Structure 1
Amino acid sequence: MRVVPRRRKDRGSPPGPVPAGRSAGAAVATPVPPSGGTETLELGPPPSEAAVKRRARAAERQRATTELKRSRAARRRGTARRDRAAREHRSSLLVMVITLGLLIATVVVSGGLIAASMRTRPVTLAAPLHIYPVTQTVPGQCPAGTQGITGQSSSGLACYQMSQGIAIRKVADLRVQRARNRGAYDVAVTLRTNDRRAFATLTRATLNRDLAFVVRERLVTVPRVDTPILDGKVVITGPASKAEANQLVRSLRGR
């Protein structure tokens, strides 16, 4: 009896034919695809020269656009700085002009006040100015004991008899002025407030009569009262020249 070895049962598929050059039972290596699938890395052809030029032009345009934006931003910043500097300069000029205007106005006002104070400063007379109402004018010198004073009239010496008058020691203003309707000059006397009332009363009582202005017992002038003087502004007419008017001012001052 012959013993035959039992054939091992193969659970898989029956073995195929053995390739040439290989012995039976040799292991066969099967290529395994990469993990994650069957993708493969393929390198395409190099870019063409036109594509390279297009990319270069696009990059150049992008750089130019960036530079233009930077330039515009820098110009805007420079314009803003110039505008701010111009506004500050205009503000400084405006402040300077206003300050100069205020300074000029202050000088003008101060000068006006000084001039006004000089005009309104009282004039102290060297001797009291006596003003008497003239009651009668007699030709020739005054007799002894007569309440009057001898002076020169248009017809020669005359005795001016007088009644009670007032005495003025200071005036607000005393000057020569040009006559309005004539080519001659007048003498303007402005009385102070405390003398105006007495002089107004005197001129009311002597309307269309003469007043004698006497300084140091000497008759200076004898003007006629044409209207009551209530504001203390006396205008003595008569001097034919400016020299005569200046001499009358000196005499009224007591010099």
Structure 2
Amino acid sequence: MRVVPRRSRNRRRDEATAPSPSPSVPPGAPESAEPAPGGSPSDPPPAQGANTPPAKSEIGAPADPAGTKTGGPPEAETGKPADSADAQAREDADATTRATEEFPAVTPRVPVPASPAETEAARRRARSAERRRATAEVKRSRAGLRRNRPHRTPPTPARAAEQHRSAMLVMVLTLGLLIAAVAVTGALIASSMRTQPVTLAAPLHVYPVTQTSPGQCPAGTQGISGQSATGPTCYRMAQGIAIREVADLRVQRSRVQPGGYDVALTLRPSDRKAFADLTRATVGRDLAFVVRNRIITLPRVDMAILDGKVVVTGPPDRASANRLVRELKGR
């Protein structure tokens, strides 16, 4: 019967300090020629049963941890059978094999220089990976913006009607402002066209009338013959002014006679002072408007005209007023 002792934590240390055991010879087996530890090859092994007591194996007896006993067979020194040494050797060999399998020897790899084609392919792969990362980042940012964007709920019918009314009001106001702007612009254009200077075909002479007598004017007298309600009349005149261009000359509704028409004549600033002096001196008398030595009209001066705006009243209809305008222009 053989008993294999249990492995202890200090077994490797004990084995390192203990002498190498040799296989023991069981009783009745032939003796081997191997020398015992500490002896010489020429020394014969001790005889069984002479003076050496036979080796004993105690069950459960602890082995000498120090391994200081010398002499005698290894079984007597260590208290272990010979087969336990063989098992220990096999276990050590198995442990070495497992360690080799678990941690194989690493052979250092010698770096091989890459070819230009491989280098360019690696660069292309790196650029492609960078573009994919950038695209993924852009997609993530857009998705985050969409998630953070407030959700728009559809307006209620009342809200939609209010918005429609507001839009219509804004459109109407805009259209009104546009129409007003067009009207103001048109008025300004028309006013500027009306205020453009009117060049007369023949000079318009304005004379204060000093005396009237029936019939034709005698030769050599300062007067012009004209037609009045009583027949031919001679109009004697004083020194007057000549107008060759006016600021405005047009027909307008009469302010005195309902349904009648007036002729409005606006003088230029250069002629206003002379005309103001002339009318100031002839208040309550007539002024003769003469074109080509022919009396066109004889209006009475009610008050001095200082602003150069002359209104000739009397034409009964628009046709007569238009004819008067043409005669004043010398056409």
For Structure 1 versus Structure 2, the TM-score category normalised by the shorter chain is 0.5 to 0.7
- Secondary structure (helix, strand or coil) at the match of 1:194 reads helix
Structure 1 pair 222/101, CA: closer, same or farther in 2 (3 Å)? closer
TM-score scaled to structure 1, two decimals? 0.60
Match among 192, 215, 232 for residue 140 of structure 1 = 215
Tell me how far apart the structure 2 counterparts of residues 118 and 133 of structure 1 sit (CA, whole Å). Answer: 32
Structure 1 pair 187/90, CA: closer, same or farther in 2 (3 Å)? closer
* 1:159 match: 234
* 1:16 match: none
Match among 206, 214, 224 for residue 131 of structure 1 = 206
Higher relative contact order (CA 8 A, sep 6+): 1
Q: How big is the shift at 1:170?
A: 1.4
Match among 199, 216, 231 for residue 307 of structure 2 = 231
* 2:296 match: 220
* 2:283 match: 207
The number of residue pairs the alignment matches comes to 178
Instruction: State, as a whole percentage, how many aligned pairs show the same letter.
Output: 70
| Bigger strand fraction | 1
> C-alpha root-mean-square deviation of aligned residues, in Å?
2.9
* 1:194 match: 270
Cα deviation code 1:170-226 (max 9, x no counterpart): 112212222223232221111121111111100010111111100011111111111
* 1:119 match: 194
What does 1:32-43 correspond to in 2, within 5 Å? none
TM-score scaled to structure 2, two decimals? 0.47
Instruction: Structure 2 unaligned segments of length 5 or more: list them.
Output: 1-146
Tell me how far apart the structure 2 counterparts of residues 162 and 230 of structure 1 sit (CA, whole Å). Answer: 22
Tell me how far apart the structure 2 counterparts of residues 158 and 77 of structure 1 sit (CA, whole Å). Answer: 97
Q: How big is the shift at 1:240?
A: 2.1
Which amino acid in 1 is paired with 2:282?
T
Structure showing greater radius of gyration is 2
What does 1:67-146 correspond to in 2, within 5 Å? 77-79=151-153, 104=179, 106-146=181-221
Q: How big is the shift at 1:110?
A: 2.6
Structure 1 pair 240/98, CA: closer, same or farther in 2 (3 Å)? closer
Tell me how far apart the structure 1 counterparts of residues 170 and 318 of structure 2 sit (CA, whole Å). Answer: 50
- Secondary structure (helix, strand or coil) at the match of 1:160 reads strand
Which amino acid in 1 is paired with 2:276?
A
Match among 169, 172, 179 for residue 247 of structure 2 = 172
Instruction: Structure 1 unaligned segments of length 5 or more: list them.
Output: 1-72
- Secondary structure (helix, strand or coil) at the match of 1:136 reads strand
Q: How big is the shift at 1:243?
A: 1.9
